[in-house]
Amino acid sequence: LLFHDHDLLYRILRDLFTKEVDRLVIDDRSTYEKALELLNVLGPHLRSKVKLSTENSIFSFYGVEHQIEQALQRKIWLESGAYLVFDQTEALTVVDVNTGKYTGSTCLEDTVFHTNLAAAKEIARQIRLRNIGGIIVIDFIDMCDEESRKQVLESLSQELQKDKVKTNILGFTSLGLLEMTRKKTRPSLREQLQQACSCCEGTGYKYSLDTQTARAERRIMELGADQPRDEALLIGVNPAIAALLIGPGGTRLSTLEKMMKKMIFIRGKDEIPLAEARVIAAGDRDYIQALALPVKEGEVLEVEVAEPHLNNPIDGIARLEGYIIDIENGGHLVGKRIKVRIGKLFKTYAKAVVCD
């Protein structure tokens, strides 16, 4: 080990606690006393600015949690109703300025100018809060007037002077984008507090349910090809796509069965990922059919009415492991949990009546 820096408190007092700071608030007495002791060496004139807080949570009292949450959001609203969008990539950070709800005066150019002016101040603040480093490209709203561009540039430059990290404004490109750089000193706030989403891998997008259903359908066909001798399959899928796989009136499932030349039963399983499908059981038709139906005729059970019947809104629809329960005269009970008695059973649904 060639070099080991001091602890967090020492670094804050050394690097950040300057005469421009109004006060340093500490909620722990031992840390407070240690700070005063360190300032005897680092800056005796700053000792009077150190305050011991008696609040239960200084983060809540001073709104720090809200500021951190805001600094991690992709979209930042300005007081005028305009908003900023921050997109960080491996290569650079892009900031997009939008008028949003701000209409301003009757003069469009004036509205654009004031939006960009307010945006410049907030962008400089957010860059500091988020500790964004490297190449930064800002897409201000197009300004025809060169003087307006200069004022926006000056405003951004003045706000960046508050930043202790070195910044360099390169100016506007031929496309009207402002280029600047900021020295990378430490990981950004996002890198320190967040991790990439395992579902979308940090892109912010994931496959739609329709796409997931189509992928699961192809997976079922692959599974069917691996079971050439079995007449029927009981397939487990995520409940979110079970109804979509079956289709209105079982039409989509029927088409799939014709293609595979097998009887297919669908069961919803929460532990199965979207777009995935697994064989729960395989065998002859009678065996799989008896195994597949999650209810029995005459059985009484409690269900939640999810929605009215698509073709007959008087009836209500409940689902059990992806299996549809068609509740007679249950359309007005949407959102409620009720007891029903199971009637006639069908492959993809069962009829039921509300118990008195």
Q: Is residue 189 domain-shared with residue 80, that is, in the same domain?
A: yes
Here the tokens at position 11 are 């670094």
Phi, psi of 332 (to 5 degrees): -85, 0
Type of residue found at 144:
C
Q: What is the CATH number for 229?
A: 3.30.300
Q: Is residue 127 domain-shared with residue 213, that is, in the same domain?
A: no
Please say which residue of 132, 166, 193 terminates a domain. Answer: 193
Q: What is the SS3 string spanning the chain?
A: CCCCCCCHHHHHHHHCCCCCCCCEEECCHHHHHHHHHHHHHHCHHHHHHEEECCCCCHHHHCCHHHHHHHHHCCEEECCCCCEEEEEECCCEEEEEEECCCCCCCCCHHHHHHHHHHHHHHHHHHHHHHHCCCEEEEEECCCCCCHHHHHHHHHHHHHHHCCCCCCEEEEEECCCCCEEEEECCCCCCHHHHHCCCCCCCCCCCCCCCHHHHHHHHHHHHHHHHHCCCCCCEEEEEECHHHHHHHHCHHHHHHHHHHHHHCCEEEEEECCCCCCCCEEEEEEECHHHHHHHHCCCCCCCEEEEECCEECCCCCCCEEEEECCEEEEEECCHHHCCCEEEEEEEEECCCEEEEEECC
Please say which residue of 262, 292, 322 terminates a domain. Answer: 292
Q: Is residue 169 domain-shared with residue 70, that is, in the same domain?
A: yes
Confidence (pLDDT) at 304: 94
The boundaries of the domain holding residue 305 are 299-354
Residue with tokens 């307006």: 148
From the list 140, 182, 176, the residue with the least C-alpha distance to 161 is 182
Q: Is residue 164 domain-shared with residue 278, that is, in the same domain?
A: no
Q: What's the CA gap between 61 and 169, in Å, rounded?
A: 36
Q: Is residue 80 domain-shared with residue 172, that is, in the same domain?
A: yes
Q: In a structure prediction context, what are the per-residue pLDDT tens digits for the chain, which is 356 residues long?
A: 555 667 889 989 998 888 889 999 999 999 999 999 999 999 999 999 999 998 888 888 888 888 889 899 999 999 888 899 999 888 999 999 998 876 666 677 888 898 999 999 999 999 999 999 999 999 999 888 889 899 999 999 999 998 889 999 999 998 989 999 999 988 899 988 988 887 777 778 888 999 999 999 999 999 999 989 999 999 999 988 988 998 887 899 999 999 999 999 998 888 998 889 999 999 998 899 888 888 999 999 999 999 999 889 999 999 887 788 999 999 999 999 999 999 999 888 899 999 97
Q: Is residue 257 domain-shared with residue 309, that is, in the same domain?
A: no
Q: What is the CATH number for 332?
A: 2.40.50.140
Counted domains in the chain: 4
Q: Is residue 78 domain-shared with residue 189, that is, in the same domain?
A: yes
